Amino acid sequence: MLKIVKKLKSHAGARRYGTNTLWGFLEQFLRMFSGLFLGIWVARHLGPSDSGLISYTVAFVSLFGGLSKLGMDSIIIKHIVKTPQRSNYILGTAFNLKFFTALALTLIVFLYYVLFGKFNIEGVSVCIVMLTLLFQSIEVVDFYFQAKVQSKYVTICKITQLIISSALKLYFLLQDYSVIYFVVLLLIDQITLSISLWYSYKKMHGGVFFFSFDKAVAKELLKESWPLILTTLLITIYMRIDQVIIKMMLSDAEVGIYSVAVKLSEVAYFVPAIIASSVFPAIVNAKESDEKLFYGRVSNLYFLFFWLALFCYAPLLFFSKEIVLLLYGKEFVGAAPSLVILSLASIVVFTSFVTTQLVIVNAQQKRSSIATGIGALMNVLFNLILIPKFGILGSAYATLIAYVFSSFVVPVYFRIDKNYPKILFLSIFKLGEIK
């Protein structure tokens, strides 16, 4: 073991990618820590209705955020890696495409609320948060640093933004400010991050890219990204539509209570995400060289993620009411039953990180997009059916059903791998090897 560690330390590539991953872990851990403690304080301060308004606003705007990204995030990284000499034009073109798409969407939403006389606290909140999409366009700098394996600089920017945001949030809490200040803080967060990203790029690269637009590059990026726009939107619907429907069918207070269950159930998602991205190259290499080794690694990953999920979510499954009462108070205790169901769904999510790797190494992305679409459609349908009968618990049931169907049933139907789902169930309980 020591020999392996020494070998990795002496390997420049391993040190580079390892350091890159550690910076990602640092930022995610600090964000989780701040979000958990300050987020709980904000929820208790605002109460279910006002915290529900913020949750609904973020969920609603995220539907447009999925469109404004234009599905080109990973494509930008790929093009910068392939043609680094064109980085300025790639970044400038991508920035302008994202910015003007976000501007168009923001104007549409603004006109809707003005023309239909809905410019109340909800309309104002949505329009304020829609402005974050304009500043989100600068995220192309993040992709530049990812392509250069220099996530350290992005992490520093995000930690800076997190410190400023946390300080302002603490000040607002101590001054007993109303909900609109916390809505404006979402915009301040994005502006702060955008300025720090721009400064980091300017300092490292020595130039700007805002006006470096190239029609040929634009056509190239859009040609590759347009199929992913729908996929990105479907994923966003999949993850956020429940809170929008709860608002439409119930109330802001119910959204606030349900959002507590969602936040607690998603608190550990970054763990499998970072582990999966770190070991993915090893999975790809094994697929190309040794089938037995490949299935062995996939099996180990399924085993790890399933039992890691059980370890993370067992307290939420058995003590959900006590945890909600302790953290959020009596006003939010109605979130406990939904938290149990969403915790079960989170176990499915953990294993789906491995299934996603199977999809990619077997070049089944198109079928995966169909599965995502089916999952999003089922989520909407079951929300509409179950919320009138069970309230917010119905939304949790809808999420669990959609996750199980898109993560287990659809992959079996599309045969994403010759050994799926056998490898999943054998791996979880270590019942045997895949031959």
- In terms of domains, do 189 and 337 share one? no
- In terms of domains, do 189 and 269 share one? no
- In terms of domains, do 206 and 274 share one? no
* pLDDT surpassing 80 at residue 232: no
- Check residue 343 and give its pLDDT: 93
Any domain includes 225: no
Beta carbons of 39 and 169 less than 8 angstroms apart: no
pLDDT digits (tens, 9 = 90+) for 293-352: 877 888 888 888 888 899 989 999 999 999 999 999 899 999 999 999 999 999 888 888
Any domain includes 229: no
- In terms of domains, do 111 and 193 share one? yes
Any domain includes 30: yes
* pLDDT surpassing 60 at residue 434: no
* pLDDT surpassing 80 at residue 82: no
- In terms of domains, do 209 and 304 share one? no
Q: Is the dihedral of CA 353, 358, 364, 367 positive or negative?
A: negative
Quote the tokens at residue 229.
């726009």
Average the pLDDT over 389-404 and give the result. 92
- In terms of domains, do 269 and 192 share one? no
Any domain includes 402: yes
Q: How many whole angstroms separate alpha carbon 357 and alpha carbon 368?
A: 11
Our count of domains for the chain comes to 2
Across the chain, what does the average pLDDT equal?
A: 81
Distances (CA, A) of 34 to 22, 153, 162, 166: 18, 20, 8, 7
> pTM value?
0.79
Task: Locate all alpha helices (DSSP H) within 131-214, ordered by sequence.
Answer: 132-136, 140-147, 151-174, 179-205
pLDDT digits (tens, 9 = 90+) for 173-188: 999 899 999 999 999 9
Look at residues 213, 237, 270 and tell me which one is the last residue of a structural domain: 213
- In terms of domains, do 144 and 265 share one? no
SS3 119: coil
Beta carbons of 136 and 190 less than 8 angstroms apart: yes
Q: How many whole angstroms separate alpha carbon 364 and alpha carbon 343?
A: 28
Q: Is the dihedral of CA 307, 308, 314, 317 positive or negative?
A: negative
Residues in the chain: 435
- In terms of domains, do 265 and 118 share one? no
Any domain includes 188: yes
Q: Which domain holds residue 151?
A: 16-213
Beta carbons of 142 and 200 less than 8 angstroms apart: no
SS3 259: helix
Cα angle value 315/385/404 (rounded, 5°):
45
Beta carbons of 301 and 428 less than 8 angstroms apart: no
- In terms of domains, do 208 and 268 share one? no
- Check residue 130 and give its pLDDT: 94
Beta carbons of 398 and 242 less than 8 angstroms apart: yes
Any domain includes 131: yes
* pLDDT surpassing 90 at residue 269: no
- In terms of domains, do 258 and 209 share one? no
Q: How many whole angstroms separate alpha carbon 378 and alpha carbon 356?
A: 19
Any domain includes 390: yes
SS3 175: coil
Look at residues 165, 187, 213 and tell me which one is the last residue of a structural domain: 213
- Check residue 69 and give its pLDDT: 83
> Which of 419, 399, 420 has the alpha carbon at shortest distance from 409?
420
CA 154, distance to chain mean position in Å, is: 17
If 0-12 CB within 10 Å is exposed, 13-18 middle and 19+ buried, where does residue 113 land? middle
Beta carbons of 43 and 328 less than 8 angstroms apart: yes
- Check residue 15 and give its pLDDT: 52
Look at residues 213, 241, 275 and tell me which one is the last residue of a structural domain: 213
> Which of 77, 74, 62, 136 has the alpha carbon at shortest distance from 103?
136
- In terms of domains, do 209 and 258 share one? no
Which among 55-64, 143-152, 364-373 has the top mean pLDDT? 55-64
- In terms of domains, do 203 and 274 share one? no
Beta carbons of 239 and 55 less than 8 angstroms apart: no
Any domain includes 74: yes
Task: Please give the DSSP secondary-structure letter assigned to residue 331.
Answer: G
| CB atoms near residue 175 (< 10 Å) | 8
